[in-house]
A and B are shown apart, each in its own frame.
Chain A
Amino acid sequence: MLKILGQRLLRLLATLFAVTFLSFFMTSLLPGDPAVAILGEAGVQNEELLNQVREDLGLNDPLPVRYVNWLGNAVQGDLGESYINQGQSVSGTIVQRLPVTAQLAFMAIGLAVLFAVPIGVLGAYRQGRWQDSVSSAGVQVALAVPNFITGIFLIWLFAVKLQWLPASNWNRISDKGIVENLRTAILPATALALTQMAIFSRLVRSDMIATLQENYILSARAKGLKDRYVLFRHALRPSSLSLATIVGINFGALLGGTVIIETLFAIPGLGFRLINAISQRDILVIQGITVSVAVGYVLINTIVDLFYTVLDPRIRRS
């Protein structure tokens, strides 16, 4: 077990190193001179001043040196300052906005799993009958609807037609309390959840169909256990392992999805900030958000991986 842990840790470090380097390298290719951005039009005339700022920012150093310097600062939580909103630190922005995105992502995953498990179990239990056909067709359609389309029509139905929920904006729990917070969070979270729900329930269904043919299911049935008990206690547990993996893998897609959904609903999360930074060419903000999202994704996948190893003795031994 310790050996596995050590290997995983080593691989994690290597991946983190590669991921941070790649993001740094990529964002260093972004067009626009940061020195010009900071000095503004006036500074462009003054060659000496321009060079001075470049020197201060370390822009004249070779790329590997800049990467090491940047990484050293990043590890201490210093990702630089926004060029556009001067004085605003990138890590401060991230810390302020991360909770919003995290809440959205976790709510979406929660909703997706909550609905996917019963749908998938039903499909497997009623395999080939109408319940299965209906849910499978629903899953196929849900897989084909991009989240921004879901989002628009949720806004249309619940905010425009029924006027039950606000169409955009975000209430922080600390400001308005949990109820107001949920009122702004439920539509975007649902829009994010739909595709994931389809993916999860398809997985649960196919996994369960395989599990239901195992001998221990037959013996559980033979000793007279109720179907529901067999399904949720005996059959679901092994299937939930692959569910856990796919949840981890799909977390990345979800983080990408939050960018779109936050833009659509005008939610002050990381994704919305990223899109703003891209349109303003605010390089350090793009860099900081890209790196932190990628690092977060890698960390989550590693945790899921470990979790999986702990849960499933078959993998632990091999």
Chain B
Amino acid sequence: MTTTEPTVSLDQPTVVEAPKVQQSGVPREGIKPKRASVLEVWRSMPLTVKFSTVWLILVFGGAIYAKVDTTIFDGALPLQDPNAQTNGFSAATGEFGDGEPLEKPSADHWLGTDAIARDTFSRIVHGGWVSLIVASVAAGFGVIFGGFLGALVGFVRGRTEAVIMSAIDVILAFPALILLLAMVSIFRVRDLLIISLVIGFLSIPAYTRVARATSLAISQREFVLAARAIGTKPGTILRREVIPNVLPVVLSYAMVAAAFVIVVEGSLSFLGLSVQLPTSTWGNMINLARADIKVDVMQAVYPSLALVITVLSLNQVGDWFQKRASHRASAL
């Protein structure tokens, strides 16, 4: 091992060689471990995490496909219209459709039809879109605002920290869903953007806490002390030493938080307080199907499975990334 490039071992924390002292500036090039390639990451995943990743790609890829289908191709791609009632009158053919409510799965309708004869498979695929958007917006808000706030207050401490953290504590002093309900009821129009923004805003406190805890630990480290000692400006230290090391932890938290957000949106949909009908979400599909569980419980099972497997997968992948991130942090 005489090469200067540190090799990345995937199961173990990356061992980084001592940074070479440079002529001027902050010695940091040597600290950055080589980024593992996608293939290497895939190989190092345990089987359950691999399955979870595949599922997430399928569900969210399918949701994007469905969205592209309806918005760009006007439903021309092979996927049924999620809102068409298969027993309804069609102007094109001049006849009523031959579909029925609560059909059993068949070649035409892979997962049967719902209470008003719409294709369940298509509705589930389309339903992934709302989950994807809400989870992404929440993660974006959390990482950008929460992550930055947390990294900042953990680094500067003092009065700034006291003020910001007490504001955070007040928001966390509410039961999350109650606060969400109160905020959601402020808006008359419930579209995806508003729901996402409200959930995104409410995600910030938890991220701030996670980022602050990491930032506190990072800010005590010798490389931060070293940067201070050579007179680097605090802003530069925050940007170049603290934030890059807080970010992996926050990003891996985002996965687990996304799972939680999907459940929260599912609950809102279930209560009929999320996006407006007929847009399908897993939550409102479950809510619709529950009226008919005496006749056909399977219509409730399919969207429930979609929701549960997605949440389970996000948890698995998130936990795994969190472990990697903490290994990385301890190897610094």
- Contact: B271 with A155, CB < 8 Å? no
Which of chain B's residues have a CB closer than 8 A to the CB of A301? 173
The answer to the question of B297 belonging to the interface, with a C-beta cut-off of 8 Å to chain A, is yes
- Contact: A144 with B185, CB < 8 Å? no
Contact of B173 among A257, A290, A294 (CB under 8 A): A294
The answer to the question of B76 belonging to the interface, with a C-beta cut-off of 8 Å to chain A, is no
Q: How far is the CB of A233 from chain B (nearest CB, A)?
A: 32
Distance in angstroms between the alpha carbons of A23 and B312 in the assembled complex = 33
Given contacts A15-B169, A149-B304, A160-B294, contact A294 B174 (CB under 8 A): yes
In this complex, the member of B174, B179, B272 whose beta carbon has the largest number of chain A beta carbons within 10 angstroms is B174
The answer to the question of A267 belonging to the interface, with a C-beta cut-off of 8 Å to chain B, is no
Which of chain A's residues have a CB closer than 8 A to the CB of B153? none
- Contact: A293 with B307, CB < 8 Å? no
Distance in angstroms between the alpha carbons of A145 and B312 in the assembled complex = 8
Main secondary structure of the interface of A (DSSP, over half): helix
Q: How far is the CB of A199 from chain B (nearest CB, A)?
A: 12
- Contact: B178 with A256, CB < 8 Å? yes
* Residue interface mask B137-176, A partner, CB < 8 A = 1: 0000000000000000000000000000010011101111
Given contacts A145-B308, A156-B293, contact A294 B186 (CB under 8 A): no
Q: How far is the CB of A222 from chain B (nearest CB, A)?
A: 33
- Contact: A252 with B174, CB < 8 Å? yes
Given contacts A23-B182, A30-B186, A293-B175, contact A146 B294 (CB under 8 A): no
The answer to the question of A31 belonging to the interface, with a C-beta cut-off of 8 Å to chain B, is yes
In this complex, the member of A26, A143, A146, A297 whose beta carbon has the largest number of chain B beta carbons within 10 angstroms is A146
Which of chain A's residues have a CB closer than 8 A to the CB of B166? 14, 18
Which of chain A's residues have a CB closer than 8 A to the CB of B263? 146
- Contact: A144 with B259, CB < 8 Å? yes
- Contact: A149 with B178, CB < 8 Å? no
Distance in angstroms between the alpha carbons of A148 and B308 in the assembled complex = 11
| Residue in A closest to B270 when the chains form the complex, CB atoms | A148
Q: How far is the CB of A103 from chain B (nearest CB, A)?
A: 17
| Chain A interface size, under 10 / 10 to 19 / 20 to 34 / 35 or more | 35 or more
Which of chain A's residues have a CB closer than 8 A to the CB of B293? 152, 155-156, 160
Distance in angstroms between the alpha carbons of A29 and B185 in the assembled complex = 10
- Contact: B178 with A290, CB < 8 Å? yes
Which of chain A's residues have a CB closer than 8 A to the CB of B307? 146, 149
In this complex, the member of A144, A145, A156, A264 whose beta carbon has the largest number of chain B beta carbons within 10 angstroms is A144
Which of chain A's residues have a CB closer than 8 A to the CB of B270? 148, 260, 264
Which residues from 163 to 214 on chain B have a C-beta closer than 8 Å to any C-beta of chain A?
166, 169-171, 173-183, 185-188
Contact of A286 among B185, B187, B259, B311 (CB under 8 A): B185
Which of chain B's residues have a CB closer than 8 A to the CB of A255? 175, 177-178
Contact of B266 among A146, A252, A278, A294 (CB under 8 A): A146
Which of chain B's residues have a CB closer than 8 A to the CB of A256? 175-178, 180
Which of chain B's residues have a CB closer than 8 A to the CB of A73? none
Which residues from 261 to 278 on chain A have a C-beta closer than 8 Å to any C-beta of chain B?
263-264, 274-275, 278
Which of chain A's residues have a CB closer than 8 A to the CB of B7? none
Distance in angstroms between the alpha carbons of A7 and B309 in the assembled complex = 45
Given contacts A31-B188, A140-B316, A146-B263, contact A298 B173 (CB under 8 A): yes
* Residue interface mask A282-311, B partner, CB < 8 A = 1: 000010001001100110010000000000
Q: How far is the CB of A87 from chain B (nearest CB, A)?
A: 23
The answer to the question of B286 belonging to the interface, with a C-beta cut-off of 8 Å to chain A, is yes
The answer to the question of A27 belonging to the interface, with a C-beta cut-off of 8 Å to chain B, is yes
| Residue in B closest to A195 when the chains form the complex, CB atoms | B263
| Residue in A closest to B293 when the chains form the complex, CB atoms | A156
The answer to the question of A173 belonging to the interface, with a C-beta cut-off of 8 Å to chain B, is no
Given contacts A144-B311, A160-B293, contact A297 B173 (CB under 8 A): yes
- Contact: A30 with B271, CB < 8 Å? no
- Contact: B300 with A152, CB < 8 Å? yes
- Contact: B267 with A253, CB < 8 Å? no
Distance in angstroms between the alpha carbons of A22 and B293 in the assembled complex = 41
- Contact: B173 with A278, CB < 8 Å? no
- Contact: A259 with B286, CB < 8 Å? no
Seed contacts A144-B312, A145-B308; 11 additional CB < 8 Å A-B pairs: A14-B166, A15-B169, A15-B173, A18-B170, A22-B171, A144-B315, A146-B263, A148-B270, A251-B175, A252-B174, A260-B177
The 10 A-B residue pairs with the shortest CB-CB distance in the complex, in nearest-first order = A256-B177, A252-B175, A144-B312, A144-B311, A18-B170, A278-B185, A255-B175, A256-B175, A146-B263, A149-B304
